[in-house]
Amino acid sequence: MFSSRPASVSNRLMVVLLGLGTLAHFTQGHTQEGSPSADAPATTAPDKATIDTASTRGEAAASSTAAPANPAPSSAAPNLPANVGPRPAADKVVADVTTGVEVGESPPATPAIPDPLLAPLEEPPVPTDLVSGGIEPTPTESVVVNLINRLVERGVLTQGDAAELVSQAQRDAAVATQNASAAALVAADAAMASEEDIVVTHIPDSVKDRLREEIREEIVADLPPPTHFIYSDDYPENGKEAVVGELEEIPSWVRNIRVFGDFRVRYDTTLFPDGNDATGSFPNFNRINSGAPFDVAGFEFSPQLNVDETRQRFRLRARAGFHADIGDGFTIGFRGATGNDNSPVSTNQTLGANFQKYAIWADQAFVRWDGVVGSAVASISAGRFENPFFRTSDIIWDTDVVFDGFTFKATPDVSENLRPFLTAGVFPLFNTGFNFPNNQPDKFKSTDRYLYGAQGGIDFDATREIGVKFAIGYLDFDDIEGRLSDPFVPLSPNDAGSTDDLRPPFAQKGNTYMALRNITPDALNNFGTTDQYQYFGLASAFEVLTYTGRIDLNHWEPFQISLLGEYAMNLGFDESEIAQEALNNRGPVPAPGVPGQYEGGNVAWNAGVQFGKPVLDKRWDMNTVLGYRYIESDAVVDAFNDSDFGLGGTNMEGFSISTKIALTSNTNFQIEWMSANEIAGPPLQTDFFTFDFNASF
């Protein structure tokens, strides 16, 4: 008998645990010696715990139990602690230790047994009917329950402590049952497996997630503080300083910058078959117009193009830049690129300059706004930016051409399968020198030139496997053609004519040319036989109508076959006027001093097919392009179209084939062969072979 209650719940629980351990040891030994409980049949009912009900249960609880009710004493039991007074009488209720269901009540329906490996462990009900202090409990077949009832009776445990112990015992029993079921399932799976089978025990996702998180936390906790390397002037040897710990948060303007670039190494060779006219029939008009005027009455050949000697070159191209999102739909961009010169159609740098350094040019610099206008997605760009027009070949625009000026693009929201688009812009081509001419006090009028361009089209899905894109465009090269100057007598190469600025700032070859200076025969130039310093301009106006189309066939995904087509016609071409002043693109000379017939034209077209992977995203992905192009002399401006086919320009026809093979998602190599023949004028054939290695980031 205890004379008083322990000072705390923890002390009481300690006493209970010691008692339970001793009693369990004694019971186990007694059973092993042959106690009646050891011979009990397997069908013995589950253990019962006699639990006193509260007085509020009354007679209803008493009538629901099979155990007889013991009369309550009229006064406090002599063996109770002093601080425990008499307790009201209460009936005894026999409850199943495992389920807590009172005997006499209908047990609940047994639910379907869940998979012990997947089902979460349910929280068992907490017993609420506990024996009241001073009430003699009804003995049960469970030693543990009897002990708990006696401890409650003697005041060692409160009703709450007893309920907690019973609830904990029920949870432990449920866990043990679940573990046993899981082990049985694993053993059954292993028993059914053959020697060749690999047995993999299922682990629930919740367990995987918990284990993954615990492992990650352990690894992170064991890691040393992060070490960063920053650029520092204090370390001139390597320019970097090691910093242990976390760096400051990256500014938002840095996170909004996307850096990109590409690199290409090329080997190319140019072959000229026998039969080309190498007698001085191919003047280099670009070279003449880029320097001092040429004296056509002199005794020297004008600068000439190579048409007979094979050339081999190693070349590289490097481009890098960034796009920065500055908020509210605005983006600024910049890209630098290599190049032998400021040519608009090439960023190739030929290697072999005695190890001299190479120049980097400002290739792009723009600001762009992207947003929504009405129901259309729109963008407006200003500065120097990539080609805004849809194209499928290089007969009009080389891939390296970058536009100066302003452009507007819009894509109205029509439907998911039909996407119309519109592009329009104004692009300055030439701005008159502010002090032109430099050596005269009386300046000439401006001869600024602009390109006005527009293109509209549709991009639609004819079927799930067929995509079609088609566009019509118009390009007006305003004031690009040459005109005769005011009559004058140049006394030196430095004397300027009023239309000198109409000569093309850059040209390749193929367009028809005319003389720009109207030089008056005079005694000072020996009546036109000396000092005939001349520049040359384009003989034709250029107002180009374009049709561009592409059909993608995806029946063999991931492979794609694309049919490519482009057509251009120069509506500004006037053959009769051009024939009167054309200096080139003429047929054979019929007689000395009589020019040959003019053979120039105004139509260009390209037809091609591409097959293979449209995007090379893994090793050995490849695609091949076959094409044939026909470009008459004045169909397009020769300054801006492909610089590789026939070494650039117009007045050529021929085929090309190229194959590109990926080495990684960011590297590939390409082999290409082009063969071009001149259409009008003296015979000229050019074969061009390239091998490229490309890398990008």
pLDDT tens for 3-30 read: 444 444 445 555 445 555 544 444 444 4
Q: Could you give the CA distance from residue 647 to residue 650 in angstroms, rounded to a whole number?
A: 10
CA-wise closest residue to 690 among 674, 666, 675, 667: 674
Sequence-ordered strand ranges (E) for 66-107: 92-96
**For position 156, what pLDDT does the model report?**
77
Distance in angstroms (rounded) separating the CA atoms of residues 348 and 340: 6
Checking if the pLDDT of 32 tops 50, the result is no
Last residue of a domain, one of 165, 191, 217: 191
> How large is the C-alpha radius of gyration of the chain?
48
Regarding whether 268 and 177 lie in a shared domain, the answer is: no
CB neighbours of 562 closer than 8 A, spacing ≥ 6?
550, 551, 552, 553, 609, 610, 611, 614
* 152 in the same domain as 264: no
Q: Is the peptide bond before 592 cis (omega within 30 degrees of 0)?
A: no
* Maximum distance among all Cα pairs of the chain, rounded to whole angstroms: 155
Q: Is residue 28 in some structural domain?
A: yes
Residue 127 lies in a domain: yes
* Helix (H/G/I), strand (E/B), else coil: 30: helix
Do residues 275 and 184 both lie within one domain?
A: no
pLDDT greater at residue 482 or residue 82: 482
Q: What percent of the chain has pLDDT over 70?
A: 74
Considering the domain architecture, whether residues 573 and 661 belong to the same structural domain is answered as yes
pLDDT of residue 26: 45
What's the rounded mean pLDDT across residues 414-418?
Answer: 90
Query: What are the tens digits of pLDDT across the range 152-199?
Result: 777 777 877 777 877 787 788 877 887 787 777 767 766 666 666 665
pLDDT value of residue 302: 92
CA–CA–CA angle 696, 655, 679 (5° rounding): 125
Report the C-alpha gap between 72 and 63 in whole angstroms. Answer: 17
Give the pLDDT confidence of 374-388 residue by residue, as tens digits.
889 999 999 999 999
Average pLDDT over residues 657-662: 98
Whether pLDDT at 415 is above 70: yes
φ and ψ at residue 174, rounded to 5 degrees:
-65, -40
DSSP assignment string, 551-619: EEE-TTTT-EEEEEEEEEEETT--HHHHHHH--SSB---SBTTBPPPB----EEEEEEEEEE-SS--ST
Q: Is the pLDDT of residue 538 over 50?
A: yes
Distance CA 568, CA 397 (A): 11
- Which residue shows structure tokens 């049960």? 140
Residue 331 lies in a domain: yes
Domain boundary among 150, 172, 191: 191
DSSP alpha helices (H): ranges in 367-417? none
Cβ neighbors of 198 (< 8 A, separation 6 or more) are none
Select from 224, 2, 45 the least CA-distant residue to 142: 45
139 and 263 housed in the same domain: no
The confidence band for 643, taking pLDDT boundaries of 50, 70 and 90, is very high
Among 62-76, 249-263, 285-299, 503-517, the minimum mean pLDDT is found in 62-76
* Predicted local distance difference test score (pLDDT) of residue 598: 96
In the numeric block, which tokens belong to residue 123? 């929280």
In a domain, 398, yes or no: yes
In-domain check, residue 58: yes
| Residue with more model confidence, 681 or 34 | 681
CB–CB of 536/482 below 8 Å? yes
Amino acid 63: pLDDT: 41
Q: Give the 3-state secondary structure of residue 28.
A: helix
Does residue 675 contact residue 544 with C-beta atoms inside 8 Å? no
| pLDDT given for residue 143 in this prediction | 74
Rounded to 5 degrees, what are φ and ψ at 518?
-95, 85
User: Does residue 565 belong to any structural domain of this protein?
Assistant: yes
DSSP-assigned states of every residue in 107-153: PPPPPPPPPTTTSPPPPPPPP---PPTTPPPPP-S-HHHHHHHHHHH
What is the arithmetic mean of pLDDT over 272-277?
Answer: 94
- Single out the residue of 612, 644, 610 nearest to residue 625, CA to CA: 610
Residue 278, domain member (yes or no): yes
* Tokens describing residue 120: 């979460």
Name the pairing type of β-strands 257-271 and 685-696: antiparallel
Per-residue pLDDT band at 328 (split at 50, 70, 90) = very high
Residue 164's H or E segment, with its range, is: helix 159-192
Integer Cα distance of 290 and 313 in angstroms: 24
pLDDT computed for residue 226 by the predictor: 62
CA distance 369 to 405: 14
Q: Is the whole model's pTM more than 0.75, yes or no?
A: no
List of residues 6+ apart from 210 with CB closer than 8 A:
none
| 360 touches 319 (CB < 8 A) | no
Are 130 and 266 in a shared domain?
no
Number of domains in the chain: 2
Taking the CB of residue 627, how many other CB atoms lie within 10 A of it? Answer: 22
Query: Could you list the residue range(s) of the whole structural domain that residue 180 is in?
Result: 9-105+116-191
Pair 138, 267 in one domain: no
Q: Are 419 and 411 in contact (CB under 8 A)?
A: yes
Find all residues with CB under 8 Å of 244, minimum gap 6, and list them.
225, 226, 227, 228
Claim to verify: residue 581 and residue 450 sit in the same structural domain = yes
pLDDT at 112 over 80: no
pLDDT of residue 231 exceeding 80: no
- Residues with Cβ < 8 Å from 91, sequence gap 6 or more? 52, 53, 57, 58, 59, 61, 62, 65, 69
Write the CB contacts of 30 (distance below 8 Å, at least 6 apart in sequence). none
- Per-residue pLDDT band for 117 (boundaries 50, 70, 90) equals very low
The amino acid at 300:
E
Q: Which residue has the tokens 């249960």?
A: 57
Say whether both 59 and 178 belong to one domain.
Answer: yes
Residue 286 placed within a domain: yes
The pLDDT-based confidence of 620 (bands split at 50, 70, 90) is very high
pLDDT score, position 30: 43
Share of the chain above pLDDT 90, in %: 58
Helix or strand or coil: residue 303?
coil
Nearest to 487 by CA among 519, 454, 446, 439: 519
- Angstrom distance (rounded) from CA 92 to CA 88: 13
| Residue 18, SS3 per DSSP | helix
Please report how the helices 9-32 and 159-192 are oriented relative to each other, as an axis angle in degrees rounded to 10. Answer: 50
Same domain, 332 and 434: yes
Q: What is the CATH number of the domain that holds 369?
A: 2.40.160
DSSP-derived secondary structure for 288-301: HHHSSPEETTSSSP
Looking at 170, 191, 212, the residue that finishes a domain is 191
- Give burial (CB, 10 Å; 0-12/13-18/19+) of 611: middle
The single residue listed with the structure tokens 């509020």 is: 56
Q: Quick one: average pLDDT of 498-526?
A: 95
Given a contact cutoff of 8 angstroms between Cβ atoms, the answer to whether 410 and 583 are in contact is no
Are 277 and 182 contained in the same domain?
A: no
| Range 263-289 average pLDDT | 95
Same domain flag for 574 and 436: yes
